Amino acid sequence: MNRNRIALLILLLVASVLGVSMLTSAQMSESVLRSAHDAEWTGLDPHVASTVSSFYVLANVVESLTTNDDNIELTPLLATDWSQSEDGLTWTFNLREGVHFSNGVEMTSEHVVFSMNRIINPDTGSGRVASVGGPDAVWEAMDTYSVSVTTPQPNAILPVLLASRATAVVHPDSVDENGVIVVPIGTGPFIIEDLDGTISMTLAKNENYWMEGMPLLDAVEITVIQEDAAREAALLGGEVDFVTSVAPQAVQALQDNSEVVVLVSPALAYKYIGLNLMREPLNDVRVRQAIAYAINRDDLCAAGDFGLCTPLYGGPIDTGSPWHFEYAPYSQDLDKARALLAEAGYADGFEMELMPTSTYQDTVRQAQVLQAQLGAVGITTTINAPEWAEWLELEGNFRYDGYICSWNGLVDVEHYFYLQHRTDEVFNFTGYSNPDFDALVEKGRTVSDFDERYAIYAEANRILVDAVPYVYFYNPAFVRAMSPRVQGYVLRSDNANLYMNTYLEG
């Protein structure tokens, strides 16, 4: 036995005794990003999932017909181009040839039709039916590499709506015998391996990926670390290379640390409290308006995101968007809040529960500030902060008074209004229903001209702001932190967490 082999055996023995995993030379040369996500994914079915934590993963595994680039401009993805018929009822999408699913099967029009019909099928329970043309949309395979979709009314913005990974094309083998996708078979740059519940997984390079030379990483090892301090300690200690979220109070200290790179971007998102219109006294618009007048948004911004945010005094869209509307009536006015409560019959106030989630500590801080602010006008509150999975169940079943949360990835003006507030939409968790509002947001999808759409949504925004199913707090900023070795990652204002162009230096 030669000396080198003896040395290797001794090294392996020592490693075994110490519990250290030995890597082969091939493994040591792999480019593996260690990423700490801030919340557990709540399912990996792209057609059903609704949480940011799920799409932090899914955006790397599945793809849609269209997408938004890093500048949030609409661009082709699985479709190369598209056109609308003269009557506005039919869109035709030409598909990219040579795209294969991770199982090696070539993607064709039949897979697109299957995926879109699965979203439309009410048995799926998808909240994205409107994004693929609505319940009466008819998707057809025209030939191997082209599909059409016909809708009862013209839909001028369908390519924009299809840019979400929630409208992903998946292989039928993704769906199990119960009609559920546990792990999707997609066309994206990574595949899911070593899935351990909702706390860890590996995104492995998809060797069948259609874009030559991509992805740049061999794998992304994802671990969920919910506590801000623990996640940041893991980054500073070198246990992970990348974290998807940083506590806002820690941003400055990390920016001052030369061993850490911090990215900050204005967010196409908003934070808010949703009010249960099915419960008294929140079913009285005067009570909801009183809540909107009672709060100090600057204090909520400071507590929730430590000032990395822009307060909202009316609707959900801030001044950085071309879809910003000037109507903003809700500067703090305690006297007006008290008068509205008295008019509604609650001069002595009432009791309600605030529901943040312990998974996102910013919502807990907001609830604590909100508790004091509402107390000043006689509204006595308790705070219930369940973990994320339980929170989602309570929200989805209307078992709350006021839930505190955020909406992300809001690219088009429709994204701010339709899914959350149109009557009976899956993501309408307040019970808000207004025929005039519904008619406006439905009309808004039939129009492509910006000025005409702006006028439609300005009216819809005013109706919604006056009705107050949501009380908007502020627009936040998104933050990522990473080792200087991490290169190529782009923090986008739509919060899409894409690892495809990321690589490790050195």
SS (H, E, C) 83-115: EECCCCCEEEEEECCCCECCCCCECCHHHHHHH
- Fold adopted by 270-477: Dipeptide-binding Protein; domain 3 (3.10.105)
Residues 199-245: pLDDT tens digits?
999 999 999 999 999 999 999 999 999 999 999 999 999 999 999 99
The pTM of the full predicted model, rounded to 2 decimals, is 0.84
User: CA-to-CA distance for 22 and 186, rounded, in angstroms?
Assistant: 32
Predicted local confidence at residue 149, as pLDDT: 98
Strands (E), 118-252: 138-143, 146-150, 190-196, 200-205, 219-224, 242-243
Give the DSSP letter of residue 332.
Answer: -
Residues forming CATH 3.10.105.10 domain(s) in the chain: 270-477
Identify whether the C-beta of residue 311 lies closer than 8 Å to the C-beta of residue 411: no
Residues forming CATH 3.90.76.10 domain(s) in the chain: 62-174
User: CA-to-CA distance for 367 and 358, rounded, in angstroms?
Assistant: 11
Predicted local confidence at residue 506, as pLDDT: 78
Identify whether the C-beta of residue 488 lies closer than 8 Å to the C-beta of residue 269: no
| % of residues, the chain, pLDDT over 90 | 91
Q: What is the mean pLDDT of residues 195-199?
A: 95
The model's confidence at residue 21, banded by pLDDT at 50, 70 and 90, is very low
The model's confidence at residue 320, banded by pLDDT at 50, 70 and 90, is confident
Q: What is the mean pLDDT of residues 464-490?
A: 97
Residues 268-303: pLDDT tens digits?
999 999 999 999 999 999 999 999 999 999 999 999
Chain centroid to CA 398: 21
Selected from 3.40.50.720, 3.40.50.300, 3.40.190.10, 1.10.8.100, the CATH number assigned to the domain covering 31-37+188-260+483-504 reads 3.40.190.10
Q: What is the mean pLDDT of residues 80-93?
A: 97
User: CA-to-CA distance for 431 and 397, rounded, in angstroms?
Assistant: 11
Class of the CATH domain delimited by 62-174: alpha beta
Q: Is the pLDDT of residue 25 over 80?
A: no
Predicted local confidence at residue 289, as pLDDT: 98
Predicted local confidence at residue 11, as pLDDT: 35
State the Cα torsion 83-86-89-94 to the nearest 10°: -20
Residues forming CATH 3.40.190.10 domain(s) in the chain: 31-37+188-260+483-504
| % of residues, the chain, pLDDT over 70 | 94
Lowest mean pLDDT of 111-125, 317-331, 428-442, 471-485, name the range. 317-331
Average pLDDT, the chain: 93
Q: Is the pLDDT of residue 176 over 70?
A: yes
Predicted local confidence at residue 409, as pLDDT: 79
